[in-house]
């Protein structure tokens, strides 16, 4: 595609500069899916930096024994805010942002099905994030203690009862998550409707890019996972404000019921976050392997399978509660079974790489890192699915290391890959490959220093959420290594932020299709015009741009 | 740039996709059903676990008449959609008015029931687990009835002023789907609260 003249950017930019207020007004009132997508992503990146900073403070505190860098109260707030922010105000919005931006472009539509609902969902979710952080100022301001929530990200009852959490810090947590949940359900509804009702002619379900398929599964999962959380938060608010007894053990209520309700949301939520990550891998790996994805129908079937099975695994978070042998066996088996469709995906990606002409761009390097680390995260997951092993290691640093391997090693790595891959489409300029490779290697080293070595103090019995520890436990060296890894990760992330800013101004012009890719978003300019496509496209196969570039050998002959 | 954007046009066969409104409402119904499911699970889990009275058996009466009103309003809203579809706007207004009336009777019944429970039997959301789960589940449903009634009244208003025509059948149909859902939930709530729980 190099023959095409480098973009019309200059023409667009020649218009007189608009006032800041006009630009702001434009963004605040927009209903365009691309702008809302970018706002989601920008908002998530801001919270990523904030929550990452909180993690850094915690690692400073834990780097040496008997440390008093932060107080125990502040430490409790830090891990609560870090977890809540990363899941609800980084993970969800950044994935919804990419979905918002890419889905209409990939299915040849001009916008989402409900543009105003889209804007509403974004603003209500972003208000939730602001509310959560306002708790630092307003949590219990009247007590002069300005406090953030400190009940942990899963907020077990009865810790959230008025007796144990006086003031309003827990209310901020509940309301923030309730609002974010409403936004998530709205966006998921919009994504499903867009995918079902807005496809361009010829874009049958079995021709949709796999990214679109995975977002469809993920959004359906949001309906049945975020809604229970919303219901549980309503109950918690009734308990706190109206004096009902859902989770009040004094009046016969059940603390375990909250655990069930939370994890009915909590475990599928992991899949809500990882499915879009699979979605990015499904687009990025084939393009840089110069091959069509291996086993498209198997990939779709595996995704739908993961969606269903993920609904039956929640209580593996509760093996230590004492559910009885029957329930323990069921949830052990269900958790193990989910590794089958996941394994299908990993083998299909490997088969896509196999025999391909692999281009090791920064994006592809992150994608390969994702594959490798996701495999290891999955293996420790299978270890933890075994109830007796979990009894030994539940709530230890081994668990923390396991799920950070998923969230950072898999999801964050593929997110970085997605940024390097789609940044040119969103801004019209390429990210610097050189800085990108530095970013990859520094972050990779930091990641492995932190999260490989975090397993070991867990095996040695270090519990999660402790504020500090004695010097004679033998955890000191491991914690030191883990904390030093955090420094590398910080440097890597700062490089990435610098790269994004620098490339936005000085990066090479990307052109419509810098990676010689095959899906519809690369058929329009970078960045796309607000109407996306001047003429609504018609597709004949899963790789419409391949057909266009190779009229002598179109894909439609083989599908 | 235009030569990149051109993808071959193909108008061989008509390309028909489902209606956005119906798919969107179906999604909303799935999400709402999940919320109700959690409240119903809590209700079932806490049946008979209250530490103090009053118990459901002592204080609850079967709301047969109001339930019949609510369920038959599903029929009237369907007739309203059908009338609008055939362009008979005054008939549509009539059926919509009937729907609003039947829904309001149901809501008044709930209000009366709650009044009795609070002032005669002394049951509030704070009293015991029965009060907690009863008021939240029935209240959640009543909230949905209120939202539905507001939207149906708006539709009635637009129907009377003549700004709703047979072109808008699709929209009214989406609203009717919501109303059918609210009615269907009542069947489950009725079974759980007044049959199983009593």
Q: Which residues contact A2 (CB under 8 A, 6 or more apart)?
A: A511
Look at chain B and report how many structural domains it folds into. Answer: 1
Q: Which residues of B touch A533 (CB under 8 A)?
A: 5
pLDDT at B26 over 70: yes
Separation between Cα atoms, residue B44 and residue B39, nearest integer Å: 9
Separation between Cα atoms, residue A318 and residue A326, nearest integer Å: 13
Q: Where does B46-168 have alpha helices with state H?
A: 56-59, 64-85, 89-119, 129-161
Stretch A362-381: mean pLDDT: 96
**Residue A10 — pLDDT band, cuts 50, 70, 90?**
very low
Closest by Cβ to A253, choosing from B8, B9, B129 = B129
What letter does residue A87 receive in the DSSP assignment?
I
User: Do the Cβ atoms of A540 and B8 come within 8 Å?
Assistant: yes
Q: Which residues of A touch B133 (CB under 8 A)?
A: 246
Give which of A403, A150, A421 is closest to A281, Cα–Cα: A421
Query: Range of B179's domain?
Result: 19-47+70-196
Q: Angle at the Cα of A68 (from A66 to A70), degrees rounded to 5?
A: 135
Give which of A149, A130, A137, A129 is closest to A74, Cα–Cα: A149
B41 min Cα distance to partner chain A (Å):
10
In which residue are the tokens 């496209």 written?
Answer: A537
Determine the residue of chain A that is closest to B135 in CA distance.
A244
pLDDT tens per residue, range A224-249? 999 999 999 999 999 999 999 999 99
pLDDT score recorded for residue B5: 55
Tell me the torsion sign for CA atoms A347, A351, A354, A358.
Answer: negative
User: Do the Cβ atoms of A223 and B27 come within 8 Å?
Assistant: yes
Separation between Cα atoms, residue A73 and residue A241, nearest integer Å: 24
Distance of CA B126 to the CA centre of its chain: 27
Q: Are B60 and B123 in contact, with CB atoms under 8 Å apart?
A: no
SS (H, E, C) A211-262: HHHHHHHHHHHHHHHHHHHHHHHHHHHHHHHHCCCCCCHHHCCCHHHHHHHH
Closest by Cβ to A227, choosing from B19, B31, B126 = B31
pLDDT score recorded for residue A165: 87
Separation between Cα atoms, residue A536 and residue A127, nearest integer Å: 35
CATH number at residue B177: 1.20.120.80
Question: How far lies B115's CA from each of A108, A516, B108, in Å?
Answer: 56, 69, 10
Q: Which residues contact A371 (CB under 8 A, 6 or more apart)?
A: A281, A285, A346, A349, A350
pLDDT score recorded for residue A116: 96
Stretch B158-186: mean pLDDT: 94
Closest by Cβ to B28, choosing from A189, A224, A242 = A189
**Residue B165 — pLDDT band, cuts 50, 70, 90?**
confident
Give which of B74, B100, B95 is closest to B85, Cα–Cα: B95
Separation between Cα atoms, residue A227 and residue A14, nearest integer Å: 48
How would you classify residue A532: left for phi > 0, otherwise alpha for psi between -120 and 50, otherwise beta?
left
Separation between Cα atoms, residue A392 and residue A319, nearest integer Å: 10
pLDDT at B8 over 80: no
In which residue are the tokens 């040849």 written?
Answer: A108
H helix or E strand, kind and range, residue A378: helix A362-385
Q: Are A285 and A358 in contact, with CB atoms under 8 Å apart?
A: no
Q: Which residues of A touch B7 (CB under 8 A)?
A: 108, 520, 523, 535, 537-539, 544, 548
**Residue B10 — pLDDT band, cuts 50, 70, 90?**
low
Separation between Cα atoms, residue B44 and residue B63, nearest integer Å: 19
Task: Flag whether B26 is in a domain.
Answer: yes
Q: Where does B120-168 have alpha helices with state H?
A: 129-161
Query: At residue A10, what are phi and psi to the nearest 5 degrees?
Result: -60, -35
Take residue A189 and report the two structure tokens written for it. 């509804």
pLDDT score recorded for residue A555: 87
pLDDT score recorded for residue B36: 97
Task: Flag whether B187 is in a domain.
Answer: yes
Question: How far lies A129's CA from each of A116, A174, A183, A518, in Å?
Answer: 20, 11, 11, 36
For A34-557, the fitting CATH number among 1.20.140.10, 1.20.210.10, 1.10.15.40, 3.40.50.300 is 1.20.210.10
pLDDT score recorded for residue A140: 59
Q: Which residues contact B111 (CB under 8 A, 6 or more apart)?
A: none
B32 min Cα distance to partner chain A (Å):
7
Q: Which residues of A touch B8 (CB under 8 A)?
A: 538, 540, 547-548
Determine the residue of chain B that is closest to A8 in CA distance.
B1
Separation between Cα atoms, residue A412 and residue A416, nearest integer Å: 6
Q: 3-class SS at B121?
A: coil
Separation between Cα atoms, residue A37 and residue A99, nearest integer Å: 7
Determine the residue of chain B that is closest to A184 in CA distance.
B31
Q: Taking the CA atoms of chain A, what radius of gyration do you get in angstroms?
A: 24
Determine the residue of chain B that is closest to A221 in CA distance.
B31
Take residue A35 and report the two structure tokens written for it. 């702008």
Closest by Cβ to A197, choosing from B17, B131, B140 = B17
Among the listed ranges A164-168, A350-354, B114-118, which one has the minimum average pLDDT value? A164-168
Residue extents of the structural domains in chain A: 34-557
User: Do the Cβ atoms of B23 and A193 come within 8 Å?
Assistant: yes
Stretch A386-412: mean pLDDT: 95
pLDDT score recorded for residue A438: 97
User: Do the Cβ atoms of B35 and A227 come within 8 Å?
Assistant: yes
Question: How far lies A474's CA from each of A363, A399, A478, in Å?
Answer: 39, 19, 8
CB-side neighbour CA atoms (13 Å) of B129? 22
What letter does residue A535 receive in the DSSP assignment?
S
pLDDT score recorded for residue A3: 42
**Residue A138 — pLDDT band, cuts 50, 70, 90?**
confident
What letter does residue A16 receive in the DSSP assignment?
P
In which residue are the tokens 């907020």 written?
Answer: A155
Closest by Cβ to A231, choosing from B1, B35, B133 = B35
Separation between Cα atoms, residue A207 and residue A280, nearest integer Å: 17
Task: Flag whether B10 is in a domain.
Answer: no
Q: Are A148 and A171 in contact, with CB atoms under 8 Å apart?
A: no
Interface residues of B toward A, Cβ cutoff 8 Å, are 1-11, 15, 17-20, 23-24, 27-28, 30-32, 34-39, 42, 45-46, 49-51, 125-126, 128-129, 131-133, 135-136, 140
Take residue A424 and report the two structure tokens written for it. 């040119």
Burial class (CB in 10 A: 0-12, 13-18, 19+), A88: buried
Stretch B182-193: mean pLDDT: 97
pLDDT at A1 over 60: no
User: Do the Cβ atoms of B31 and A540 come within 8 Å?
Assistant: no
Q: What is the mean pLDDT of chain B?
A: 92
Query: Which of B28, B34, B37, B134 should be substituted to probe chain A, the one whose Cβ sees the most A Cβ atoms within 10 Å?
Result: B34
pLDDT at B9 over 60: no
Stretch A381-410: mean pLDDT: 95
User: Do the Cβ atoms of A193 and B9 come within 8 Å?
Assistant: no
Closest by Cβ to B7, choosing from A198, A257, A523 = A523
pLDDT at B6 over 80: no
Stretch B171-198: mean pLDDT: 96
B140 min Cα distance to partner chain A (Å):
10
Stretch A444-456: mean pLDDT: 96
Separation between Cα atoms, residue A149 and residue A54, nearest integer Å: 14
Distance of CA B61 to the CA centre of its chain: 22
Q: Where does A63-89 have alpha helices with state H?
A: 72-84
Q: What is the mean pLDDT of chain A?
A: 92
Q: Which residues of A touch B129 (CB under 8 A)?
A: 245, 251-253
pLDDT tens per residue, range A141-175? 545 455 788 899 999 988 999 888 888 889 999 99
Q: 3-class SS at A170?
A: helix
User: Do the Cβ atoms of B4 and A193 come within 8 Å?
Assistant: no
pLDDT score recorded for residue A143: 54
pLDDT score recorded for residue A167: 80
Could you give the percent of chain A with pLDDT greater than 90? 88
A345 min Cα distance to partner chain B (Å):
27
User: Do the Cβ atoms of A537 and B7 come within 8 Å?
Assistant: yes
ipTM over 0.90: yes
Task: Flag whether B129 is in a domain.
Answer: yes
pLDDT at B7 over 70: no
Among the listed ranges A56-70, A525-539, B8-22, which one has the minimum average pLDDT value? B8-22
What letter does residue A475 receive in the DSSP assignment?
-
pLDDT score recorded for residue A446: 97
In which residue are the tokens 């095996």 written?
Answer: A459
pLDDT tens per residue, range A475-522? 999 999 999 999 999 999 999 999 999 999 999 999 999 999 999 999
pLDDT at A43 over 70: yes
User: Do the Cβ atoms of A227 and B32 come within 8 Å?
Assistant: yes
Take residue A79 and report the two structure tokens written for it. 């891990």
pLDDT tens per residue, range A291-344? 999 999 999 999 999 999 999 999 999 999 989 999 999 999 999 999 999 999
Question: How far lies B195's CA from each of A475, A555, B55, B57, B120, in Å?
Answer: 58, 59, 14, 10, 22
pLDDT score recorded for residue A169: 86
**Residue B126 — pLDDT band, cuts 50, 70, 90?**
very high
Task: Flag whether B188 is in a domain.
Answer: yes
In sequence order, what are the beta bridge partners of A509? Answer: A429
pLDDT score recorded for residue A14: 55
Stretch B84-103: mean pLDDT: 95
pLDDT score recorded for residue B77: 97
User: Do the Cβ atoms of A251 and B23 come within 8 Å?
Assistant: no
Separation between Cα atoms, residue A74 and residue A139, nearest integer Å: 13
Stretch A21-34: mean pLDDT: 93
Q: 3-class SS at A429?
A: strand
pLDDT score recorded for residue A8: 44
Stretch A369-396: mean pLDDT: 94
Cβ count within 10 A of residue A29: 9
**Residue A7 — pLDDT band, cuts 50, 70, 90?**
very low
Take residue B62 and report the two structure tokens written for it. 């079967």
């Amino acid at each position: 595609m190099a023959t095409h003249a480098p973009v019309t950017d200059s023409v667009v930019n020649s218009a007189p500069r608009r006032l800041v207020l006009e630009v702001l007004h434009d963004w605040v009132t927009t209903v365009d899916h691309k702008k809302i997508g970018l706002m989601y992503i920008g908002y998530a990146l801001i919270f990523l930096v904030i929550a990452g900073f909180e993690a850094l403070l915690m690692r400073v505190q834990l780097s040496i024994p008997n440390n008093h860098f932060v107080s125990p109260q502040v430490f409790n707030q830090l891990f609560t805010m870090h977890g809540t922010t990363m899941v609800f105000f980084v993970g969800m919005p950044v994935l919804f942002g990419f979905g918002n931006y890419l889905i209409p472009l990939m299915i040849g539509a001009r916008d989402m099905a409900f543009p105003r609902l889209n804007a509403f969902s974004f603003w209500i979710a972003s208000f939730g994030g602001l509310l959560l952080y306002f708790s630092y100022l307003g949590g219990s301001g009247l007590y002069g203690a300005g406090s953030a929530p400190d009940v942990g990200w899963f907020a077990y009852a009865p810790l959230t009862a008025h007796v144990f959490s006086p003031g309003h810090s827990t209310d901020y947590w509940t309301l923030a998550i309730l609002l974010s949940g409403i936004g998530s359900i709205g966006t998921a509804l919009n994504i499903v409707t867009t995918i079902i009702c807005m496809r361009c002619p010829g874009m049958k379900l079995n021709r949709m890019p796999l990214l679109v398929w995975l977002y469809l599964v993920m959004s359906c999962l949001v309906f049945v996972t975020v809604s229970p959380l919303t219901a549980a938060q309503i109950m918690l608010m009734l308990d706190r404000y109206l004096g009902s007894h859902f989770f009040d053990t004094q009046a016969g209520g059940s603390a375990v019921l909250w655990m069930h309700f939370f994890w009915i949301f909590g475990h599928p939520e992991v899949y809500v976050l990882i499915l879009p990550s699979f979605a990015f891998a499904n687009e990025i790996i084939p393009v840089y392997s110069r091959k069509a994805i291996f086993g498209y129908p198997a990939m779709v079937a595996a995704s739908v399978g993961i969606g269903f099975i993920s609904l039956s695994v929640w209580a593996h978070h509760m093996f230590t509660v004492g559910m009885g042998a029957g329930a323990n066996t069921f949830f052990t088996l269900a958790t193990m079974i989910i590794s089958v469709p996941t394994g299908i995906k990993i083998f299909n990606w490997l088969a896509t790489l196999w025999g391909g002409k692999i281009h090791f761009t920064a994006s592809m390097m992150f994608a390969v890192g994702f594959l490798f680390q996701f495999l290891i995260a999955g293996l420790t997951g299978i270890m933890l699915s075994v109830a007796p092993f979990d009894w030994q290691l539940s709530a230890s640093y081994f668990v923390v290391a396991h799920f950070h391997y998923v969230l950072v090693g898999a999801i964050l790595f593929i997110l970085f890959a997605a940024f390097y891959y789609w940044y040119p489409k969103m801004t019209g300029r390429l990210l610097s490959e050189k800085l990108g490779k530095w970013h990859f290697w520094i972050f990779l080293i930091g990641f492995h220093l932190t999260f490989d070595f975090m397993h070991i103090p867990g095996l040695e019995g270090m519990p999660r959420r402790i504020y500090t520890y004695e010097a004679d436990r033998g955890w000191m060296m491991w914690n030191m290594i883990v904390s030093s890894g955090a420094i590398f990760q910080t440097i890597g992330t700062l490089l990435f932020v610098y790269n994004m800013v620098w490339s936005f101004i000085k990066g090479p012009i990307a052109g419509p299709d810098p990676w010689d890719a095959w899906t519809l978003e690369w058929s329009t300019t970078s960045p796309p015009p607000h109407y996306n496509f001047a003429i609504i496209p018609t597709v004949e196969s899963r790789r419409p741009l391949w057909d266009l570039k190779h009229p002598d050998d179109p894909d439609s002959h083989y599908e | 740039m235009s030569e990149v954007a051109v993808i071959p046009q193909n108008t061989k066969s008509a390309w028909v996709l489902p209606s956005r409104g119906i798919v969107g409402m179906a999604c909303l119904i799935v999400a709402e059903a999940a919320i109700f499911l959690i409240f119903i699970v809590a209700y079932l889990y806490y049946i008979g676990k209250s530490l103090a009275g009053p118990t459901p058996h002592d204080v609850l009466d079967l709301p047969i008449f109001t339930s019949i009103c609510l369920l038959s309003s599903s029929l009237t809203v369907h007739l309203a959609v059908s009338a609008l579809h055939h362009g008979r706007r005054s008939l549509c207004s009539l059926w919509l008015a009937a729907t609003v009336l039947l829904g309001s009777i149901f809501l008044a019944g709930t209000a009366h029931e709650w009044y009795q429970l609070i002032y005669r039997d002394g049951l509030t959301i704070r009293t015991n687990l029965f009060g907690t789960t009863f008021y939240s589940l029935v209240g959640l449903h009543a909230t949905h009835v209120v939202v539905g009634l507001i939207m149906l009244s708006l539709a009635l208003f637009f129907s009377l002023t003549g700004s709703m025509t047979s072109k808008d059948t699709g929209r009214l149909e989406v609203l009717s789907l919501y109303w059918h859902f609210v009615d269907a939930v009542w069947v489950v709530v009725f079974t759980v609260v007044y049959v199983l729980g009593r």
